[in-house]
Amino acid sequence: MGCGGSTGHFGQSFRASGAQIVEEGNKKREVFVIVGVPKESFPGERRVALVPAVIPNLKKVGLEVVVEAGAGVEAGYPDAQYAEKGAKIAPDRKAVFGTADIIAQVLCYGSNDKTGKADLPLMRRDQVLIGFLRPLGSREILQEIAGAGVMSFSVELMPRTTRAQSMDALSSMATACGYKAVLIAADVLPRFYPMLTTAAGTITPARVLILGVGVAGLQAIATARRLGAVVSAYDLRPAVKEQVQSLGARFVELPIEAKNAEDARGYATAQDEAFYAKQRELIGRVVAENDVVITTAVVPGKKAPTLVTAEMVRAMVPGSVIVDLAAERGGNCELTRAEETISVNGVTIIGKINLASTVPYHASSLYARNVTAFLAHLVKDGKLNLNPADEITRETMLTRGGEVVNARVREFFSLPALVAQGGA
């Protein structure tokens, strides 16, 4: 079903001819595939899709980079650094979209529902779009993107395989979020994290609980441990116990077992309400014992499960802090308000979103390496090379030729299977 199995959905349709030699009179020159980097337009977004350091690597595979003026400034990458590495600076957004064969963004329309729609009129049919597109978000927005005729690739759909590890932008950004969540909590918490021995006496260390041990959770554990906190963590997947312990934290074990706790891609799967009710009953006591609770549990395409109830918040010591990394998906804490920080009975609940953007220099660097690895996979010898049998290409391609072509996404939205074109 979907776009698998037929070259009809993957055949080359591309404006630029790649790094080919063309003749102009008595002279010859190379024609490159052009990658455009517009400035991120989502309010408060400070990241940039490509950084100067990756441009030489892109040139090696036949890619030329055009960057909108000022695109990297807020992340700490001025235009001069791009120019020094061989990129061209375009005066405005329209010039980037009008020149580029491939558009590389962090938050494309789909993940950017505030300003992203303004990019649709700038796109051309068969132009390639790469970035965060929230493929399991809004069916209507995906169909708008498809209607623009672009060939879009969603980095959220990257397979969790060894081959694709260097392209895994979700993990890179989760690393940034987990790190920053601990620092935000430390800034608000009216206690020190580490144990301190002073002339005035000994200060006991703060206790930090991480709920959800994916990439963000693991980084939160590591960061809190580096700051000297006593850390414990819980996840419905027993397999992560060893990882938690390897970082010096205690794994919280509850007498309850999840069914099919993780899917083939390594993500936690949604459980029924009976499981979550029992989980909340058992974990309430653990929550009350901690000064900081950081929640990271999300299930792709679904509302985040409620792990911390209002009753649990009321049982926490005044001054305690909850940082809810699932705020954008409805929150793991029942009281979380997305994009807000609130206080309930003296407990601070932080629902900030887009935390990776608050460490833009390194978040951009990590993301740029992911995108560069993906571009090197898609472009060979200066030409777009789409192999229908390749899992990375097949699983990340979201739209093509006016259609949403990703099989997983079509199934999620109950769209009918596409009819294969160009033969079986």
What are the DSSP calls for 303-336, one per residue?
PPPP-B-HHHHHHSPTT-EEEETTGGGT-SBTT-
Is 311 a residue whose pLDDT tops 60?
Answer: yes
Tell me the per-residue pLDDT of 317-361, one tens digit each, with 9 for 90 and over.
999 999 999 999 999 999 999 999 999 999 999 999 999 999 999
Is 3 a residue whose pLDDT tops 50?
Answer: no
Q: Which residue has the higher pLDDT, 4 or 232?
A: 232
The model's confidence at residue 424, banded by pLDDT at 50, 70 and 90, is very low
Tell me the per-residue pLDDT of 379-396, one tens digit each, with 9 for 90 and over.
988 889 889 889 999 999
Burial class (CB in 10 A: 0-12, 13-18, 19+), 404: buried
Is 186 a residue whose pLDDT tops 70?
Answer: yes
Residue 168 is a catalytic residue: yes
DSSP 274-298: HHHHHHHHHHHHHHHT-SEEEE---
Q: Which of 366, 386, 322 is nearest to 181 (CA)?
A: 322
Distance CA 70, CA 90 (A): 9
Catalytic residue among 126, 267, 276, 390: 267
Is 423 a residue whose pLDDT tops 70?
Answer: no
Mean pLDDT of 240-257: 91
Mean pLDDT of 279-301: 91
Residue 172 is a catalytic residue: no
Catalytic residue among 165, 245, 246, 421: 165
Lowest mean pLDDT among 32-46, 201-215, 254-268: 254-268
Is 170 a residue whose pLDDT tops 90?
Answer: yes
Mean pLDDT of 249-274: 72
pTM: 0.89
Catalytic residue among 119, 168, 291, 324: 168
Is the alpha carbon torsion for 235, 324, 134, 37 positive or negative? Answer: negative
Residue 363 C-beta-side C-alpha neighbours within 13 Å: 24
Tell me the per-residue pLDDT of 91-113, one tens digit each, with 9 for 90 and over.
999 999 999 999 999 999 999 99
Mean pLDDT of 3-14: 35
What are the structure tokens assigned to 213, written together? 């041990």
Q: In the chain, what's the furthest Cα-to-Cα distance?
A: 84
Strand partners, 196: 203
Is 308 a residue whose pLDDT tops 80?
Answer: yes
Return residue ranges of the chain for CATH 3.40.50.720.
7-168+359-404, 170-358
Residue 267 is a catalytic residue: yes
Q: What is the pLDDT of residue 275?
A: 76
Residue 13 is a catalytic residue: no
Catalytic residue among 15, 139, 160, 237: 160
The CATH-assigned architecture of domain 7-168+359-404 is: 3-Layer(aba) Sandwich (3.40)
Is 4 a residue whose pLDDT tops 80?
Answer: no
Q: What is the pLDDT of residue 269?
A: 67
The model's confidence at residue 24, banded by pLDDT at 50, 70 and 90, is very low
Contacts of 131 (CB under 8 A, 6+ apart): 49, 103, 104, 105, 106, 107, 108, 111, 154, 155
Is 265 a residue whose pLDDT tops 50?
Answer: yes
Residue 134 is a catalytic residue: no
Lowest mean pLDDT among 2-11, 70-79, 285-294: 2-11
Is 316 a residue whose pLDDT tops 50?
Answer: yes
Work out the mean pLDDT of the chain and round it to a whole number.
Answer: 90
Strand partners, 27: 24
Catalytic residue among 154, 171, 271, 364: 171
Please state the φ and ψ torsions of residue 266, each to the nearest 5 degrees: 90, 5
CATH of 170-358, one of 2.40.30.60, 3.40.50.720, 3.40.50.1220, 1.10.8.60: 3.40.50.720
